[in-house]
Amino acid sequence: MSRPLELVDPRSYTSPHKGWEEVTIGTSLGGGVQLPIGIVRGESDGPTVLVVAGVHGDEYEGPMAVARFFTSVDPTYLSGTFVCLPVVNPYAFEAQKRESDAAYDGLNLARQFPGTPGGSPTQRLADELYRFATELLGPDDLFIDLHSGGTRYEFLPMVGYHSTDDTTEAASLEMARTFGLKRVWRVPESPSSTKTYNGTVARAGIPTLGTEMPGRGGAREVDVESLVEGLGNVLIAKRMLPGNVESVPSEVGTVTQMVSCNASGLLHVCVDLDEEVGSGDLLAQISTLRGDTAEEIVAPVEGNIWAIRRFASVRPGDLVFMIAKA
Ligand SMILES: [Zn+2]
């Protein structure tokens, strides 16, 4: 039996409990769409961790890691509540696309939060998801949003957190450094970051972290495993699971520079991931269909290449690189 997401209260389950159920979202649109939600209630009390993936429908490491981690959690040893939603945007996942399918509204869910109750399908979805997370979680809990490069990008594995008020940001940074990935990304406030799921939840005073994985449309075993390990690390650090976290030397809150293109055409990338570049270095060329150079993209700052567009067709405004500033 399926019920609306808003009627699900994971902490109302008698502990110990572990199970999947189907919830319905978008019921106001007539019928709605079904999604799996996994809930584990531990033997003893403790914080609540909510993990979501599939905000973008072409990112697959997160959904695989969420299911694998859920399988591994034994409620006997858990203090608190673990909740997971492996794919929160079915409109995009079913279409195998980053954005919701055009048949719904074609919108990027990660630009719609905190949502619009009477809006289009993706805007209503954002509203339901935002309310679920903010009603479930408080300052002692944790929200995790798993992303990747999808079909068009390749990212170096990284864990990020949003700059918010001091207390929430400090708690988020501590969890980000515990996760176990070397690269820790501080996401500054920007017009786009303030409309993401984790950005808006963070601004509600809830510690959050997000991850980026390589993507390229795949889900390498090594990347899925490192997410599973990271989830275990943060639950151990929050004393929800027994054990010790092996400390990984991590960078502290690196800020990044996004580099977009101005021309349309075919993209030829001249640098590699993790390469150090100097300000003014040639990063890529865009050519016309006649082979003429339409644009040369140079590095606006010195730094390390953290993400590269791998889809060769570009249009003006497309993101091409992310550089971690030196
Ligand atoms: Zn994403």
Over 80: is that where the pLDDT of 30 sits? Answer: no
Over 60: is that where the pLDDT of 70 sits? Answer: yes
Please tell me the predicted confidence (pLDDT) of residue 28: 60
d(CA 314, CA 322): 16
Q: How far is the CA of 316 from the centre of ligand 1 (A)?
A: 20
Lowest mean pLDDT among 163-177, 214-228, 270-284: 163-177
d(CA 304, CA 247): 23
Q: How far is the CA of 18 from the centre of ligand 1 (A)?
A: 28
Which ranges in the chain are annotated with CATH 3.40.630.10? 3-237
Please tell me the predicted confidence (pLDDT) of residue 151: 96
Contact between 100 and 106 under an 8 Å Cβ cutoff? The reply is yes
Q: How far is the CA of 148 from the centre of ligand 1 (A)?
A: 5
Look at 260 and 30; give whichever has higher pLDDT: 260
Q: How far is the CA of 54 from the centre of ligand 1 (A)?
A: 7
Mean pLDDT of 195-208: 96
Q: How far is the CA of 6 from the centre of ligand 1 (A)?
A: 24
Determine the residue type at 303. G
Over 90: is that where the pLDDT of 253 sits? Answer: no
Contact between 171 and 78 under an 8 Å Cβ cutoff? The reply is no
Q: How far is the CA of 120 from the centre of ligand 1 (A)?
A: 20
Mean pLDDT of 46-63: 98
Closest by Cα among 62, 60, 323 to 198: 62
Q: How far is the CA of 147 from the centre of ligand 1 (A)?
A: 4
Q: How far is the CA of 108 from the centre of ligand 1 (A)?
A: 9
Q: Over pLDDT 90: what percentage of the chain?
A: 87
Over 60: is that where the pLDDT of 29 sits? Answer: no
Q: Residue holding tokens 């994985």? A: 213
Which ranges in the chain are annotated with CATH 2.40.50.100? 256-325
- The residues, any chain, with a CB within 8 Å of residue 230's CB and separated by 6 or more, are 159, 179, 180, 181, 211
Please tell me the predicted confidence (pLDDT) of residue 31: 63
Q: How far is the CA of 227 from the centre of ligand 1 (A)?
A: 15
Q: How sure is the predictor about 247, in pLDDT bands with cuts at 50, 70 and 90?
A: confident
Look at 30 and 19; give whichever has higher pLDDT: 19
pLDDT in tens, 107-122: 999 999 999 998 999 9
pLDDT in tens, 267-311: 999 999 999 999 999 999 999 999 999 999 999 999 999 999 999
Looking at the domain covering 256-325, what would its CATH class be? mainly beta
Q: How far is the CA of 220 from the centre of ligand 1 (A)?
A: 16
Alpha helices, H only, the chain = 61-72, 90-93, 121-136, 166-179, 197-203, 221-237
Instruction: Decide: helix, strand or coil at residue 99.
Output: coil
Over 90: is that where the pLDDT of 2 sits? Answer: no
Q: How far is the CA of 63 from the centre of ligand 1 (A)?
A: 12
d(CA 254, CA 32): 40
Q: How far is the CA of 307 from the centre of ligand 1 (A)?
A: 13
Contact between 22 and 4 under an 8 Å Cβ cutoff? The reply is no
Fold of 3-237: Aminopeptidase (3.40.630)
pLDDT in tens, 77-107: 999 999 999 999 999 999 999 999 999 999 9
Look at 184 and 1; give whichever has higher pLDDT: 184
- Give the dihedral sign, CA 231/178/42/6: negative
d(CA 4, CA 40): 19
Contact between 104 and 93 under an 8 Å Cβ cutoff? The reply is no
Please tell me the predicted confidence (pLDDT) of residue 189: 80
Q: How far is the CA of 98 from the centre of ligand 1 (A)?
A: 7
Q: How far is the CA of 56 from the centre of ligand 1 (A)?
A: 5
Q: How far is the CA of 232 from the centre of ligand 1 (A)?
A: 22
Mean pLDDT of 210-220: 96
Mean pLDDT of 11-20: 95
Q: How far is the CA of 296 from the centre of ligand 1 (A)?
A: 27
d(CA 110, CA 114): 10
Closest by Cα among 73, 87, 83, 84 to 13: 83
Please tell me the predicted confidence (pLDDT) of residue 163: 87
